[in-house]
Amino acid sequence: MYAVIATGGKQYRVEKNALLKVEKLDAEPGSTVQFDDVLLVADGSDIKIGTPNVAGAKVSATVESHGQGEKKVIVKFRRRKHYKRGGNHRQQYTLVKITDIA
């Protein structure tokens, strides 16, 4: 059994007991979160597709930890104009474990 959920502007295919990195959520580690934007639920050959969401479907997860992704280098450069700027970015994420698909 699996489901497709939408959170943080992205879509994820999730299964029970799977670990998933999503955009940072305002939840403490160890707490339970529910994803209500369920786009698809599949159980074998029984597939329910939402328009846009599946009615009554929810995905529950527990928050494992928070963290930061790898460093991305940002460079702005204009040739022959003596212009160069640099920076970097580390995106924050929340690691969740899927506990139930209903």
Q: Per residue in 45-61, pLDDT tens?
A: 999 999 999 999 999 99
pLDDT of residue 37: 95
pLDDT in tens, 82-102: 999 999 999 999 999 999 999
> In the predicted model, what is the mean pLDDT of the chain?
96
Q: What are the residues whose beta carbons fall under 8 Å from the beta carbon of 61, sequence distance 6 or more?
A: 20, 32, 33, 34, 35, 96, 97, 98, 99
pTM of the model: 0.86
Confidence of residue 18 (pLDDT cuts 50, 70, 90): very high
